[in-house]
Structure 1
Amino acid sequence: MLGIDALDIAVLLADAEMIEVALQDLMGRSQLLPLVEENKSVRSLVKSQLKRWKSKVSAKMDNLPHTQELKQELTLYQEVIHWTEAEFLMKVDGLIEQLQTCSEFYPEAQKIVTATNAKLNPMLPHYFCQQWYKSITSHVKKIQESQLEAEKKRELEQLRKRLENIKQMDQLAPDEDPGAIAGRMWDMTNVSLSKSDWSVMKSQADFLNKHPKLKEIAEQLGRMANQLDPNEPPSYSQGIQFDQEVSLQATDDIVGIHESDDLNKLLPNELLFLTYPELEVVFYKHLIDKRLMNYQMEGKAHSSKKVTAMEPVPAKAENDTGPFIICVDASGSMRGFPEQCVKAIAFALMQIALAENRDCYVVLFSTDYVTYQLTKQDGLREASDFLSYTFHGGTDLEPAITAAMKQMQGERYQHADLVILSDFIAPKQSKEMIKQVDALKQKNNRFHAISLSKYGNPELMHIFDHVWSYTPNLGQRFVKKK
């Protein structure tokens, strides 16, 4: 064989050291980004992100697509290294012509072959293939390095984007630690949002601050998932009960002397029988007859047994709470102040869902409905689109509730809190829907309503576990600016 057998050269693996150097370079650059220097939590998230990037980019480097020219060169190389020396010398001129169209090695190859007396040197075929192999590996490495540099640049830009989004979210919730916000929203910050997107969300945060009652309603809804149902009967659980009783086997106190065969509690004078051979038989006879003088002991023995005890059902842990499904009435009758209210409450519930790691699904309805999944990778974009939606059309509540209930029947949205924000100026639900609602309640789903009109249909409210009404008068709607 004339050269190195490069069987896998077409999928030449990137040097692990090269990727590690790229990772350390990214680590160093990321430490200089805003928030990373100041916040340990954010710094930890960035490190975790970059470690994931290393794994992803290693796989990508291993599977880089090759150009048609490189594929042609690799095929040619695999063929040539199996030639004999004589065959190489006979075909070398044709080989040089082929290299001219597909290889960076062509100028050097021509120089090697045309050197004085080169073809008379018996080592020419081996030397030629060795230099050719080096040229191929160098070329592949250049491709990988170029791709790696592009990946580094892309990742650094993504980090800047994430951190900028977290900084913007910090302005929406200034009382929270940026690290806590980053921890909850890291996967959602990998999107580009315009100034108008942030402006929309900032306006909702400001509106909530001016109307604390709306924020209070949202917080009550968030806490309800952790509260016990007062109508739920207590459950039975197995507990351990300890008892004490007097026992002669316990060795707490000496209470007297009695006859027995317990050598551990033997009186010292009984051992005198063993000092005289003629009396030793008397000792063993007393032992068999259980007539040896023993200390009589008494004490308290502890025993345990399982008993059935009545215990209250513990409240759900915070991380066991279910998701939110928010149905927002986007009909024309909700325009103006009610529209601002429902968007603000939905925005507050989205923040609560993020804080408690709960999914949040929004159904925006009028004569038709639109859905948004707010707690997913592009959730910030979905939230901005939802908050920018202009309300119009009529009120058709049933399709929206049907869409929400369909989500509840899936695995992801079990034990959900469904919140409907509407003026409830609509017909009563069908009997079939009421049956479906009752069935879902049996599976620990809860239904809440927030009414923003005095003229809502009271017959619509019977299906809900909790109902809030927010209809402030005109003077209460507007807060004077300082």
Structure 2
Amino acid sequence: MLGIDALDIAVLLADAEMIEVALQDLMGRSQLLPLVEENKSVRGMVKSQLKRWKSKVAAKVDNIPHTKEIKQELALYQEVIHWSETEFIAQIDTLLEQLQSCSEFYPDAKKILLSTNAKLNPMLPHYFCQQWYNSIVSNVRRIQESQLEVEKQKELEQLRKRLENIKQMEQLSPDEDTGTIAGRMWDMTNISLSKSDWSVMKDQADFLNKHPKLKDIAEQLGRMANQNDLNEPPSYSEGIRFEEENSQQATDDIVGIHENDDLNKLLPNELLFLTYPELEVVFYKHLIDKRLMNYQMEGKAHSSKKVTAMEPIPAKAENDTGPFIICVDASGSMRGFPEQCVKAIAFALMQIALAEDRDCYVVLFSTDYITYQLTKQDGLREASDFLSYTFHGGTDLEPAISEAIKQMQGERYQHADLVILSDFIAPKQSKNMIQQVEALKQKNNRFHAISLSKYGNPELMNIFDHVWSYTPSLGQKLVKQK
């Protein structure tokens, strides 16, 4: 064979050092971004993100599609390296013509062949193929490095976008720690939001600050959702008990000398056999016979044994809270101040859901309904869309509750807290609806109502576990009714 086998050249893996250099370059650049310099928690998030990027980009660079010319050159090289020296010399001129159309190696190949008596040199075929191989490798590497640079710029832009969004969220929640915001929102910040999107959310944050009792409602709901209503008996787990025993494998103390073959515990005088060639064979014979003088070691070793431990496991973890389902009345009767109130409360509940790593599902209803999921990856855009929606139409509560019930019956929204924000100027719900609500209550789902009008239908309130009334016309006084 005239050269190195090139079967794997077409799928040359990116050099680990090349990827590592790119990672370190990105980390160095990211450290210069203001929020990363200021906050240790954000630095940690950026570091984790870049480590994930390293794995993804390695696979992407490895699988860069080759051009038609590279594929043609690889096939030609694979053919040539299996020629004999005689075949190579006979076909070298034809080979040179073929290289002219597909290979960057052509100028160097021509220079090699034009050197004095090149064709008479018996090493020409091997030298030529070696230089050709190096050219192919260099070309593929250059393509990989170019693609890697493109991926670096993309990732740096993504980091800037995430950090800018986190900075904007920090302005919406100035009391929150920036690191906490980054931790729970990192995946949600990988989107582009316009100034109007942020302006809409900023308006709700300002409205909440001006009406703290609205925030009180949301915080009370959050605390209720953290309460554990389950009274299941505790279960018990197995624990581990550690016991000590003497072992010669442990090396705590020297307790004597004995014959063995352990070179790590060899007495120094045994090495004297190796200083004289005629005695060296004695050393190796003692080694084979395990008769070398060794230090005898002893210490304490630990063994583990499973035992039944009476350690109760809580029936439900303290922070094992379910998701929020928020039904917002978007009918025309809610326009004005009530509309601002319900949007602000929904925004506050979304922030609580983010803080507690809970899902937050919104049903916006009037004569029909629209759904939003505010804590998924593009939840910030969903929140902006929801907060920008203009209320109109009539009030039809049943489809919204039916959608909420449907979600509660699924796996993702089990043990949910349903919150309905409305003026409740609507007819009483059907017996079938009431029965479904009662059945879900038995499965640890909770139903809350926040009424924005003193003219709401009192019969509607009977299905709820907790009801709040917030009536601005009465001095914006918060009254918890039950």
Could you tell me which residue of structure 2 aligns to residue 418 of structure 1? 418
1:475 is displaced (CA, Å) by 6.0
Q: How does 1:460-471 map to 2 (within 5 A)?
A: 460-471=460-471
CA deviation after TM superposition for structure 1 residue 179, in Å:
0.9
> Quick check: 1:226–1:315 contact (8 Å CA) kept in 2?
no
Q: Which 10-residue stretch deviates more, 125-134 or 215-224?
A: 125-134
Change (3 A) 1:475 1:222: closer
Shift, 1:474, TM fit: 7.5
Give 2:115's aligned residue.
Answer: 115
For the residue of structure 1 that corresponds to 2:66, the secondary structure is coil
Name the counterpart of 2:147: 147
Instruction: Determine the C-alpha separation between the residues in 1 that align with 2:414 and 2:361.
Output: 12
Q: Alpha carbons of 1:476 and 1:397: their partners in 2 closer, same or farther (altered >3 Å)?
A: closer
The alignment status of 1:348 with 2:360, answered yes or no, reads: no
Structure 1 regions of 5+ residues with no counterpart? 240-305, 478-482
- How far the C-alpha of 1:182 sits from its partner, in A, is 0.9
User: Which residue does 2:176 correspond to in 1?
Assistant: 176
**Contact conserved, 2:235 with 2:315, CA < 8 A, in 1?**
no
Cα distance in 1, alignment partners of residues 82 and 419 from structure 2: 74
Indicate the SS of the match to 2:450.
strand
Q: Is the 1:228–1:315 Cα contact (8 Å) retained in structure 2?
A: no
Instruction: Tell me, yes or no, if the aligned pair for 1:361 and 1:372 is still in contact at 8 Å.
Output: yes
Q: For residue 433 of structure 2, what is the amino acid of its counterpart?
A: M
Aligned to 1:276: none
Contact 2:184/2:355 (8 A) holds in 1: yes
Q: Distance in 1 between matches of 2:235 and 2:201?
A: 50
Q: Offset at 1:34?
A: 1.1
CA distance in 1, matches of 2:224, 2:133: 69
Tell me which residue corresponds to 2:8. Answer: 8
The 5-angstrom pairing of residues 113-262 of structure 1 reads 113-229=113-229, 236=233
* C-alpha distance 435-474 of structure 1, shift in aligned 2 (>3 A): closer
Corresponding residue number in structure 1 for 2:473 = 473
* Counterpart position of 1:293: none
Question: What per-residue deviation string (whole Å, max 9, x for no partner) do you get for residues 376-427 of structure 1?
Answer: 2111111111111111222222222222222212222111111111122223
Give the structure 2 partner of residue 242 of structure 1.
Answer: none
Q: What SS class does the counterpart of residue 448 from structure 1 fall into?
A: strand
Contact 2:188 2:376 in 1 (8 A): yes
Compared CA separation, residues 362 and 235, structure 1 to 2 (3 A)? closer
- C-alpha change, 1:434 and 1:97, in structure 2 (3 Å) is farther
Aligned-pair CA distance for 1:441 = 1.3
The answer to whether residue 364 in structure 2 is matched with residue 384 in structure 1 is: no
User: Where does residue 446 of structure 1 map in the other structure?
Assistant: 446
Equivalent residue of 1:56, what SS?
Answer: helix
Cα gap change, 1:340 to 1:146, in 2 (>3 Å): same
Q: Residue 456 of structure 1: CA displacement?
A: 2.0
Cα deviation, residue 165, structure 1: 0.9
> What residue in structure 2 maps to residue 261 of structure 1?
none
* Counterparts of residues 419-434 of structure 1 (less than 5 Å): 419-434=419-434
Please, which moves more after superposition, 197-206 or 450-459? 450-459
- Deviation of 1:238 after TM superposition, in Å, equals 8.1
Q: Percent identity?
A: 85
Find the counterpart in structure 2 of residue 282 from structure 1.
none
Deviation string, structure 1 residues 127-154 (Cα, Å, up to 9, x no partner): 1211111111101111111111111111
Letter in 2 for 1:39: N
Contact 2:89 2:119 in 1 (8 A): yes
Q: Distance in 2 between matches of 1:218 and 1:475?
A: 19
**Distance in 2, Cα, partners of 1:463 & 1:215:** 24
User: Following superposition of structure 1 onto structure 2, how do residues 234-383 of structure 1 map, counting pairs within 5 Å?
Assistant: 236=233, 317-383=317-383
CA contact under 8 A between 2:434 and 2:463: conserved in structure 1? yes
1:116 to partner: Cα distance: 3.6
Question: Residues of 2 paired with 1:366 and 1:76: CA distance?
Answer: 70
2:405 and 2:412 map into 1 onto residues whose CA distance is: 12
Tell me, what secondary structure is at the counterpart of 1:392? coil
- The alpha-carbon deviation at position 315 of structure 1 amounts to 9.4
Which range is displaced more, 158-167 or 120-129? 120-129
Bigger Cα displacement from structure 2, 24-33 vs 85-94: 85-94
Long gaps (5+) in structure 2? 237-308, 478-482
Deviation, 1:454, is 2.0
Question: What TM-score results when the alignment is normalised by the length of structure 2?
Answer: 0.79
The aligned counterpart of 2:408 is 408
What amino acid sits opposite 1:338 in the alignment? P
**3-state SS in 1 of match to 2:471:** coil
Contact 1:429 1:460 in 2 (8 A): yes
The 1:79–1:427 alpha-carbon spacing in structure 2 relative to 1, beyond 3 Å, is: farther
Q: Tell me what 2:297 maps to.
A: none
Matched, 1:54 2:54: yes
Q: CA deviation at 1:318?
A: 4.5
Superposed CA offset, 1:140-189 (max 9, x none):
11111111111111111111111111111111111121111111111111
Q: CA deviation at 1:235?
A: 5.4
Contact conserved, 2:235 with 2:314, CA < 8 A, in 1? no
Per-residue displacement from partner, 1:241-295 (whole Å, max 9, x unpaired)?
Answer: xxxxxxxxxxxxxxxxxxxxxxxxxxxxxxxxxxxxxxxxxxxxxxxxxxxxxxx
CA distance in 1, matches of 2:446, 2:28: 49
Q: CA deviation at 1:28?
A: 1.2
Corresponding residue for 1:458?
458
Quote the offset at 1:223 in angstroms. Answer: 0.4
Q: Judging changes above 3 Å, is the alpha-carbon distance between structure 1 residues 4 and 431 closer, same or farther for their aligned structure 2 residues?
A: same
Amino acid at match of 1:24: Q
Distance 2:27 2:382 in 1: 31
Instruction: Give 1:80 deviation, angstroms.
Output: 1.4
Deviation of the 1:431 alpha carbon: 2.3
Identify the residue that residue 87 of structure 2 maps to in structure 1: 87
Describe the superposition over 1:288-319 as per-residue Cα deviations: whole angstroms up to 9, x where unpaired.
xxxxxxxxxxxxxxxxxx99xxx9x9795443
Per-residue deviation, 1:214: 0.7
SS at 2:29's partner residue? helix
Return structure 1 stretches of 4+ with deviation > 6 angstroms.
Answer: none
| Secondary structure of 1:456's aligned partner | coil
SS in 1 for 2:410: coil
* Distance (Å, rounded) in 2 between the aligned partners of 1:361 and 1:321: 15
Where does residue 397 of structure 1 map in the other structure? Answer: 397
For the 8 Å contact 2:419–2:449, the answer to whether it is kept is yes
- The residue that corresponds to 1:75 in the other structure is 75
- Contact 2:112/2:118 (CA < 8 Å) preserved in 1? yes
Q: 1:227, 1:315 within 8 Å by CA — same for their partners in 2? A: no
| Structure 1 pair 149–238 and aligned structure 2 pair: CA distance change class (3 A) | closer
| CA–CA distance in structure 2, aligned partners of residues 131 and 26 of structure 1 | 34
Q: Give the residue type in structure 2 aligned to 1:131.
A: Q
Report the Cα distance in structure 1 between the residues aligned to 2:419 and 2:19, rounded to whole angstroms: 49
Contact 1:73 1:102 in 2 (8 A): yes
